[in-house]
Chain A
Amino acid sequence: MKIDIILAGVGGQGILSIATIVGYAAVKRGMYMKQAEVHGMSQRGGDVQSHFRLSDQEIASDLIPMGKADMIISVEPMESLRYLPWLNPETGWLITNDQPFVNIPNYPDFDQLNAELGKLKNKVVINADQIAKDLGSARSANMVILGAASPYLGIPFEEIEVAVKENFARKGEDVVNTNIACLRAGREFAEKM
């Protein structure tokens, strides 16, 4: 089993904690993992991406070859489209937040952006910000996204839940519960589709 994921977003949106959680669950299952991150200048509000690879065999490259990614998981809609050259055009899934992060003057028209997302065959487009806010923590939108991606990860949902709990344990029970609720809400959204 092998799964290649491009994680996308804007610097500071928390894409790396998605990787940390899935990585924890995967390594616990004895899987191999490689994850190339972006640090430094680009983290200052620029576009950031992470190549995240899981496999039951040893992994060679830290970077995913173009056209071979099984999934794009994005916390920002325009950023999700930036990595389409990496997505497998037949079998690849795109899972993204539909709430734009506008920090540039020439951000595209929202309707046109949604139209582009609509053209894709396999997609989950979700208002993660709203769901997270309704559950009491606007900052946990990334966990909603992770929940929405979870049916396609090939890792039992319970194991992802355990990983979320472990990841937030030192922040106290309230934080753990909110993040688990966000994760489940994302999962339910994807399953209803």
Chain B
Amino acid sequence: MKKAPVLLSIIISSLVLLLVGIIGRNNVYAEGTSNGLTEPVLKDVLMGIKDGVYPWHIFDSDVKNEAIEKVNAQRALEEEMLKKQEEALAAEEKKKEEERIAKEEAKKAKPTPTPTPTPTPEPTYTPRYEPLRETTYDEYISHISADIYGEDGVNFASEYKFKNVDITYFDDALFIGDSRTVGLRKYTDLKEHADFLCKTSMTIYKVLESDFDNKLTVEKALKNKKYGKVYIMLGINELGTGTTENFLASYTTLVDEIREISPETKIIIQAIMNIDRTQSTKDKVFNNTNILGRNNAIATLADNENIFYIDINPIVCDEDGFLRDDLRGDHLHLLGKSNELWREFLLAHGV
């Protein structure tokens, strides 16, 4: 210890943390992703600290139980999804098999061809707030945001006649968003009119618990001042996190929370802005297909009376739906000067 104190301290502390990781492996760190081989157990312990689970929590039964319950719930969900998917596959197989048999029988009985009346299924009407299907297990494990709603919500929302407004319209507006909205605030005159609750790497999952500038939360801001409209653009950072269902559920919570605190306020849901071609074509998670799945979901929240849905993508994207190269600063952010287009779009979409 005298000769190599730094080395020995590091070895001992590593071993202690390793032990913590091993003890906590099936409880407090049950959610951890390390495999212990290429990714040291230590990773779980350090990631735990980031999420507020400290090494000494391995002795805290509350934290332990909470983590175990969470993981069990997760596993149950996964199993259920897997089961459903298998059932659906089996049903499809069965159907195919039946069709094949029916065809063969029809062949055998060629001399007397009876025109089998294939029952054309009645076109089923899908109510707007019901998903067309559920996210499948495969989509879930590969972080694909399934398009489970289709275009019904978007179509309905676009029926609304938006108005042209002048900049003072934003005097009672509040913008909630992530780094993209930070750009809108920085590089347009909207900051002189509207208030902004925006922060880099904000997500729909943490927006209600987060502190923004001056220690403001969404709740406090809405209670402090009466806003005529709240604009939301969130969803790019959490693309890989959760399913379309989870995302929509959290979005709904946010919208409901705003409505509850301030029932008069109009809520304008902004479509998640697409990303550029380079990123979108190579990334399995951050791509425009996944963005579309989520946009189609949040669009269904629009009722065209209190809640509206607007989509800036046709303005800033090329014909293939990729964020235009001449407008972007990196793969997913507008250049400072390009925010002018966003501003104009908002001015043309007053409610």
Co-assembled chains A and B: no
Query: Chain B residues in contact with chain A, CB under 8 A?
Result: none
